[in-house]
Amino acid sequence: MSPAENKLSVYHNINLLYILEGSPLRKGSTMTDVKPLQNGYIVVEAGKIKEVGSGNGYLKYQDANFYSLAGKTVVPGFIDSHTHLVFAGSRENEMRRKLQGESYLEILKSGGGILSTVRKTREASFDTLYKEARTTLERMLSFGVTSVEAKSGYGLDLETELKQLEVVAKLKAEGPQTLVSTFMGAHALPGEYHDNRQAYFALLEKALYEIKKRNLASFVDIFCEEGVFSVSESREFLGLAKELGFKLKIHADEMSALGGAALATELKAVSAEHLLASSDEDLQKLASSDTIAVLLPLTSFYLNKPFAKARAMIDYGCAVALASDYNPGSSPSENLQLAMQFAVLKMKMTPEEALTAVTVNAAKASGLEATKGRLMPGMDADFVVLAAPNLDYFFYRFGINLVEEVYIKGKKVK
Ligand code: NIG
Ligand code: FE
């Protein structure tokens, strides 16, 4: 390391600096309890936050490199806690079918939807998948996303699921973003197992052992949905995953109120995701647990569905995170900022809640809370500089990219 790299870096004159100090999980009313430092500064040493404060306290670091961020708002790097990052091809051919009234599940039943991406992903080489995902990550980075959870689930056979997870492992090793891997072989029942669900679960079980052995994923997720996987199938499969030491996530109540959210609390899953159709009773169960509600407004928008009841969830006391659900079918967009803006403009969340939902709670939903999501001393110096004089402006100027600069572990990456 050259002496210059060894130096401290001080970012000062920050108009509003959001640290989001305190608890690594923010539930209910604590989500909006977020106050910025005015005229703030951040001191970075070896990729970590050394000190944050306001005023001139940084002047004692005489030998540091100084950078003024006058007039800007600085927030922790955004964490996209639900994506289907690795896949091949695209599905623009389904757009007109959807517009003519065919539902997402009807398209899936006819062999399209997830299953058509599965066919393309099986055929694609490691390199093709890697290059596509690399491009996606770069696009996410430009929107301020410094950490990404990535689900498999477009292989639905051992070889291709492992291929997807290995692509994530390579991307993770290369950086700059931090990646968290989720095995989602239970994304759909592949055609060849149509008459033999048992056999598919036997394959998934085998995959769990293999993935554990090779340390290719820390989470396991399942699509618990009418016509996909039932609550009892999900309970059994996730139960085994938990025994093997995986953390759990569930695609729950996306289209129908099957009870996935309640199952998530029963299994102490880290998160229940989607939740468009959950009953109020199940949302209250969620509120009395530490399971995080990961909401995906871009998917509601794109599938022309109602938005999740974020306001009620937070008022009940839930911890809410927001994510893009980036995937080729129900959310072909990397724009997490737009998800945040929908949360405020359409789901009645406050700007502070939306910020908490992509930082503190998203870190927790991704198992990254020890190092990410807050700008406290000792944590990774992942932060973004917004071209916005205040937080409200960020939500008001919707649909464009308001991220000006991005830092990961203290290094400027945009
Ligand atoms: O989260 N719901 C299941 N999985 C994805 C969609 C995947 C696809 O359509 O390719 C989702 O919406
Ligand atoms: Fe999803």
pLDDT digit string, tens, across residues 273-294: 999 999 999 999 999 999 999 9
Interval 259-268 mean pLDDT:
98
Backbone phi and psi for residue 54, each to the nearest 5 degrees, phi listed first: -130, 155
The dihedral formed by the CA atoms of 350, 355, 358 and 363, expressed in degrees to the nearest 10: -120
Transcribe 320-364 into DSSP letters.
EEE----BTTTB----HHHHHHHHHHTS---HHHHHHHHTHHHHH
Ligand 1 near 178 CB (within 6 A): no
Report cis status (omega within 30 of 0) of the bond before 36.
no
Sign of the C-alpha dihedral computed for residues 355, 357, 358 and 364 taken in this order: positive
- pTM assigned to the model: 0.97
Per-residue pLDDT band at 3 (split at 50, 70, 90): very low
Domains in the chain and their CATH numbers? 3-76+374-412 (2.30.40.10), 79-365 (3.20.20.140)
| Residue written as token pair 């993770």 | 172
Q: Integer distance in angstroms from the first to the last C-alpha of the chain?
A: 21
Ligand 1 mutation pick, 187, 274, 303, max ligand atoms within 8 A of CB: 187
Of 258, 325, 331, the one to substitute when testing ligand 1's pocket (max ligand atoms within 8 A of C-beta) is 325
Number of Cβ within 10 Å of residue 405's Cβ equals 18
Q: Is any ligand 1 atom within 6 A of the Cβ of residue 329?
A: yes
> Considering every ligand atom, which ligand is closest to the CA of 228?
1
Banded model confidence at residue 1, pLDDT cuts 50, 70, 90 = very low
Ligand nearest to the CA of 91: 1
Q: What is the mean pLDDT of residues 311-325?
A: 98
The closest-lying atom of ligand 1 relative to the alpha carbon of residue 328 is 10
The model's pLDDT over 114-124, given as tens digits with 9 standing for 90+, comes to 999 999 999 99
Q: Are the beta carbons of 236 and 265 closer than 8 angstroms? A: no
Q: 315 pLDDT exceeds 50?
A: yes
Do the Cβ atoms of 369 and 23 come closer than 8 Å? no
* Nearest atom within ligand 1 for CA of residue 113: 9
Task: Indicate if ligand 1 lies below 6 Å from the C-beta of 373.
Answer: no
Find out whether the beta carbon of 327 lies less than 6 Å from any atom of ligand 1.
yes
Summarised one tens digit per residue, pLDDT across range 158-190 is 999 999 999 999 999 999 999 999 999 999 999
Reading the block at residue 343, the tokens are 């949360």
Q: Is the pLDDT of residue 86 over 70?
A: yes
45 C-alpha vs ligand 2 centroid, how far in Å?
36
Atom of ligand 1 nearest to the CA of 188: 3
Bridge pairing between strands 292-295 and 271-274: parallel
Give tens-digit pLDDT for 90-113: 999 999 999 999 998 899 888 889
What band does 5 get if pLDDT is binned at 50, 70 and 90?
A: low
Q: Residues 44, 8: contact at Cβ < 8 Å?
A: yes
- Using most ligand atoms within 8 A of CB, pick from 274, 327, 333 the residue to mutate for ligand 1: 327
- Whole-angstrom distance, CA of residue 121 vs CA of residue 403: 32
Average pLDDT over residues 216-233: 97
What percentage of the chain carries pLDDT values higher than 90?
96
Q: What is the mean pLDDT of residues 230-236?
A: 98
Whole-number Å distance, alpha carbon 223 to ligand 1 midpoint, is 8
**How high does pLDDT run on average in the chain?**
96
330 Cβ below 6 A of ligand 1: yes
